[in-house]
Chain A
Amino acid sequence: MKTIIRKELLDHLRSVQFAVLLAASIVLFAANGLVFVQQYTRLNTDHHKAVAENDQQPSTMMTRPYRAPSSLLFMAEGGDKSSPKGYWLGPKLTRSPMPAGTANFKMPDIPELDWVFIIKIIFSLYVILLGFEAVSGEKERGTLRLVLSNPVGRVKLLTAKYLAIISSAAIPLLAGLLISLIVIGVFLPAVLGPQNLARIVFFFILALAYLSLFAFLSLLFSALIPRSSLVLLVLLAFWIFFAFFIPDTSSIAAQKFSKVPSEYEMAKLLGPTIQGEVWKRIAKIQDRIQKGELKTEQAVREEADRAYEEGQVSVRKLYDDYDNAMQERAALAQRISRASPAALFQYAAEAVSETGPTAESRFLRDVRNYSRTYDDYILKKVGKVVGTSPWSFSTGATLNGKYIDLQSPFPQQYSGDKSDFPKFSESRPSLIDGLHNGLWDIAGLLVWNIILAGLAFSVFLRTDVR
Chain B
Amino acid sequence: MLRTIIKREILEYLKSAKFLIGLGITLALAVGSTLINVQDYKGRLQDYQAAVQEMKSDGFYQHLYRPPQVLSTLIQGKDRKLGNSITVTYLNIPSTTSGYMGEGTSQHYRLVSGFAAVDFAFIVRVVLSLMVVFIAYNAVSEEKSSGTLKLTLSNRVPRDQLLLGKFLGGWFVIMGSLAVAALASLILVLSHSFIAFASGEWTRLLAFIGLSALTLTVFYAISLFVSVLVDRPSISLMILLQAWVFLIVIYPNLGVIAAENLTRLPSQEHLAQQKDAAFQPYAAEQKKVQEAFSQGVQKGEVSKELSLRNIDLWAKRADLEHQVDEEFGRKLTAQTNLARAISGLSPAVLFDQAAERYGRTGLAEYERFMREVYRYWQQHVERSKLMYTDREAYKKAPAIEFRVPVETTAEAFAATWLAWLLPAFFSLAFFALGYTAFLKKDVR
- Taking Cβ atoms with an 8 Å cutoff, the residues of A that contact B are 15-17, 20, 24, 28, 31, 34-35, 38, 46, 50, 79, 82-83, 96-102, 104-111, 113, 121-122, 125, 129, 133, 137, 227-230, 232-234, 236-237, 240-241, 244-245, 247-253, 255-256, 262-268, 270-271, 319, 322-323, 326-327, 329-330, 333, 357, 390, 394, 405
Contact = CB atoms under 8 A, between A and B. Distances in A.
A35 B297 CA distance: 56
B302 to A, nearest CB: 13
Given A101-B268, A264-B100, A249 B249 contact: no
A291 to B, nearest CB: 26
B81 interface: yes
B113 A268 contact: no
Interface in B210-240: 233-235, 237-239
Interface size class of B (residues with CB under 8 A): 35 or more
A110 B252 contact: yes
Interface string B138-168: 1000000000000000000000000000000
Given A104-B336, A326-B110, 19 more contacts: A16-B242, A46-B267, A83-B113, A101-B267, A104-B260, A108-B252, A108-B339, A109-B81, A110-B116, A110-B252, A113-B253, A236-B130, A244-B118, A244-B122, A248-B115, A249-B32, A265-B47, A268-B100, A394-B297
Interface string B92-106: 000010011110111
Given A229-B18, A249-B36, A109 B117 contact: yes
Contact of A110 (B25, B256, B265, B298): B256
B18 A233 contact: yes
B307 interface: no
A267 B107 contact: no
28 contacts: A15-B238, A16-B238, A20-B242, A46-B267, A83-B109, A96-B105, A104-B335, A105-B82, A105-B332, A106-B332, A108-B256, A108-B336, A109-B81, A109-B116, A122-B250, A137-B234, A227-B17, A230-B17, A232-B134, A240-B130, A241-B29, A244-B122, A245-B33, A247-B115, A267-B100, A322-B101, A330-B111, A394-B297
B319 interface: no
B245 interface: yes
A188 B22 CA distance: 47
Contacts of A233: 18, 21-22, 25, 134
A329 B111 contact: yes
Across chains A and B, which 5 residue pairs bring their CB atoms closest together, nearest first? A264-B47, A267-B100, A82-B113, A326-B107, A251-B115
Contact of B298 (A82, A137, A319, A405): A405
A415 B114 CA distance: 45
B352 interface: yes
Q: Is the interface of A mostly helix, strand, loop or mixed?
A: helix
A106 B336 contact: yes
Contact of A129 (B55, B117, B130, B241): B241
Contacts of A251: 111-112, 115
Nearest to B367: A106
Contacts of A17: 238, 242
Contacts of A98: 268
A268 B175 CA distance: 47
A462 to B, nearest CB: 22
B43 interface: yes
B71 to A, nearest CB: 16
Contact of A240 (B82, B116, B127): B127
Contact of A16 (B239, B269, B353): B239
A253 B259 CA distance: 33
Nearest to A117: B253
Contacts of A100: 109
Nearest to A78: B114
Given A35-B261, A268-B54, A405-B298, A16 B111 contact: no
A98 B130 CA distance: 42
Given A108-B339, A111-B253, A326-B110, A234 B21 contact: yes
Contacts of B134: 229, 232-233
Contacts of B234: 133, 137, 228
Contact of A108 (B55, B113, B127, B349): B349
A430 to B, nearest CB: 26
Contacts of B80: 252
Nearest to B104: A96
A189 B233 CA distance: 48
Nearest to A98: B268
A111 B111 contact: no
Contacts of A108: 252, 256, 336, 339-340, 349, 352-353
Interface string B51-79: 10011000000000000000000000010
Contacts of B55: 267-268, 271
B378 to A, nearest CB: 24
A223 to B, nearest CB: 17
A122 B130 CA distance: 15
Contact of A121 (B32, B137, B249, B268): B249
Nearest to B50: A264
Contacts of B235: 16
B253 A229 contact: no
B389 interface: no
A129 B244 CA distance: 13
Contacts of A326: 107, 110-111
B106 A263 contact: yes
A400 B267 CA distance: 55
B33 A249 contact: yes
B29 A267 contact: no
Nearest to B336: A106
Given A24-B250, A107-B336, A244-B126, A323 B107 contact: yes
Nearest to B28: A237
Given A227-B17, A323-B107, A263 B100 contact: yes
User: Which of A50, A227, A245, A247: most chain B Cβ within 10 A?
Assistant: A245
Contacts of B51: 264, 267-268
A35 B81 contact: no
B257 interface: yes
Given A16-B239, A104-B260, A122-B250, A255 B104 contact: no
A117 B106 CA distance: 28
B324 to A, nearest CB: 15
Contact of A230 (B21, B101, B339): B21
A108 B122 CA distance: 13
B108 interface: yes
A433 to B, nearest CB: 23
Interface in B13-51: 17-18, 21-22, 25, 29, 32-33, 36-37, 39-40, 43, 47, 50-51
Contacts of A250: 115
B96 A248 contact: no
A252 B21 contact: no
A3 B104 CA distance: 64
B280 interface: no
B257 to A, nearest CB: 6
A107 B339 contact: yes
A104 B109 CA distance: 13
Given A125-B245, A253-B36, A268-B50, A229 B237 contact: yes
A242 B12 CA distance: 31
A421 B161 CA distance: 85
Given A16-B235, A250-B115, A330-B110, A105 B339 contact: no
B365 to A, nearest CB: 12
Contacts of B106: 263
A448 B55 CA distance: 48
B379 interface: no
Contacts of B340: 108
B415 to A, nearest CB: 15
Nearest to A236: B130
A420 B432 CA distance: 78
